[in-house]
Amino acid sequence: MLIATALLGIWAGGCQGVRTQSMLHPEGPSAEKIATLWWVMFGVYGGVFLVTLAVLAVALVSRWRERPILGSRFVLVAGVIIPTVILLAMLVYTIQLSRQMSGGPADLRIEVIGHQWWWEIRYPEYGVVDANEIHIPADTLVALELSSADVVHSLWVPQLAGKRDLIPGHPNTLKLKADRPGQYRGQCAEFCGTQHAMMAFWLVVHEPGEFERWVRQRQRAVGAPAPEPLERGRQVFLEVGCATCHRVEGVSEGLIGPDLTHVGSRLTLGAGVFRNTPGNLAGWLSDPQSMKPGSLMPPTYMPPEDLHALVDYLRSLK
């Protein structure tokens, strides 16, 4: 049963379709060490399991024949000494690997604050605030400084690093590096309430030059006033109450929900849950509770033309 489960796991992990979020397909040095440790543990403990089954078979045969095959010395060596040696060796190996993962001084510092159920992302060195997407340059050691605004969350991007908790009142740091550009899905890995499973994010890795461009684009204030066809949407944003909870640089200062200054360029809505399309955005604005029950976002009732204007305006915030 155990072996069948393990083999099923490997088979599933090997499928192209489920590579996203597979720690068996590492894309950075920390994750590579974790994957290596996984394979070594699988080999060693799988071997121990098979040997144990063989010894059990021999013991059954000896009982059936009523003639002892395995003496008391065998029990001492195989039952106490060998397991102790194996466990100690694995302990030393694991400690050594985890020491190597702590990594040296980081080249980029990013603050990640967990909320029920979304991620606030701050780049203090660049004055950029974002949500539910972490952007980093490839081949650069990044320190994610983790904290929480409410309950315990845990940040995990299986293809890049191990997971680390975001604990209220207890700052943590997770260092990671990505080998090459790509998009890696991350997930909250500590139960934090009804929408814990819907607390995801994307970690986007850029070529270093491309990352600088991304930062400059984020630093550009979108501010007020909006160009004419979007001005109505901006008015709706201020009138129906979005501005109370959400910040848009130069427009509103709400701090309860995610910063929306660049919401139009995000990959997803609702913390990694829905693709950022006009339809999903309209649905989210009208009835967020049916899309993500329990989220703090209230439904907003407005005439269809206002909803369209608001969707156009939010999508223009890039």
191 part of the interface to ligand CUA, by CB under 6 A: yes
Q: How many Å apart are CA 311 and CA 205, to the nearest integer?
A: 28
User: Shortest Cβ distance from residue 94 to ligand CUA (Å)?
Assistant: 26
Q: Compose the 64-103 pattern: x for residues touching ligand CUA by CB under 6 A, - for all others.
A: ----------------------------------------
**Choice between 114 and 137, CB closer to ligand CUA:** 114
**Choice between 148 and 252, CB closer to ligand CUA:** 148
Given 109, 163, 175, 196, the residue binding ligand CUA (CB under 6 A): 196
If binding means CB under 6 A, how many residues of this protein chain bind ligand CUA? 9
Q: How many Å apart are CA 267 and CA 146, to the nearest integer?
A: 22
Q: Compose the 151-170 pattern: x for residues touching ligand CUA by CB under 6 A, - for all others.
A: --x-----------------
Given 120, 190, 249, 306, the residue binding ligand CUA (CB under 6 A): 190
Q: Compose the 199-238 pattern: x for residues touching ligand CUA by CB under 6 A, - for all others.
A: x---------------------------------------
**Choice between 113 and 251, CB closer to ligand CUA:** 113
Site for ligand CUA in 113-132 (CB under 6 A): 114, 117
**Choice between 185 and 308, CB closer to ligand CUA:** 185
Residues of this chain that bind ligand CUA (CB under 6 A): 114, 117, 153, 188, 190-192, 196, 199
